[in-house]
Amino acid sequence: MMMGDDEIERYARHIVLPEIGGPGQQKLKNARVLVIGAGGLGAPLIQYLAAAGVGKIGIVDDDIVSLSNLQRQTIFATEDVGAHKAVAAARFVRNLNPHVVVEEHVTRIDPHNARALIAFYDVVAEGSDNFATRYAVSDACFHEHRPVVMGALGRFDGSLTTIRAHETGPDGRPNPTWRCLFPEAPPPGSIPTCAEAGVLGALPGVVGSLMALEVIRAITGFGEPLVGKLLLLDALTMRFETLRYGWDETNPLSGGGSVAA
């Protein structure tokens, strides 16, 4: 579908960018993005994807909005407390941009349903707060040949990377998987949750916005993605650092001993 006059005006600041332009904005309109988690990272991510004109946004979350969420999850209002996050987030999207189709998935994603959900979308953004979900999503994206933007938060720190493990790099070697970076999840309970350790309220806004930037990059192709690179943010010193990582031939997905699924 072509853009109407009101869409051209709405996205004018994108369209005048040579790196995006009309063709890039049309790609955004035609894109389907699945957001895993409508919490701290998902809130700014969903907001900026909707504002950017992504044609279809799927939101996966089985949690309920609580009063303590409002310190950082700014797409929710006080009257949303008690509502399903996916439903409240979808309502926010429709109010922000009527040109975006939004799908609510009030469920928890796991190894049994991940591939079925992901198969209907072009790009995935993973912003959940638990390791089981991260591994289920990253594995499913590899098998379904989908790029996935992975974000994570600590108390005063955050991280971000883009995984395109189904593709090869310029040197002909496979791109790294999430399991090349983190082969195994840490033991349960070894890393405190945000509820246990706390989190600086503005921090998810920064990391979630960077995730949105990476998703838009994956759709339009501008610039250089964070493939094989882990971006780290330390809010205590306001320092960014980028670490490089590569394909591990022993990883269970694309390594020498892997089994096709």
The HSE-up count of residue 37 (CA atoms within 13 Å, CB side) is: 28
Annotation marks residue 180 as catalytic: no
> Which of these is catalytic: 194, 206, 227, 235?
194
Residue at 133: amino acid letter? T
C-alpha 86/C-alpha 35 separation (Å) is: 10
Radius of gyration of the chain (CA): 18
Q: Which tokens hold the place of 53?
A: 């004109």
The residues facing 125 across adjacent strands are 35, 149
- Burial-class residue 103 by CB neighbours within 10 Å (0-12, 13-18, 19+): middle
Give catalytic residue positions. Answer: 194
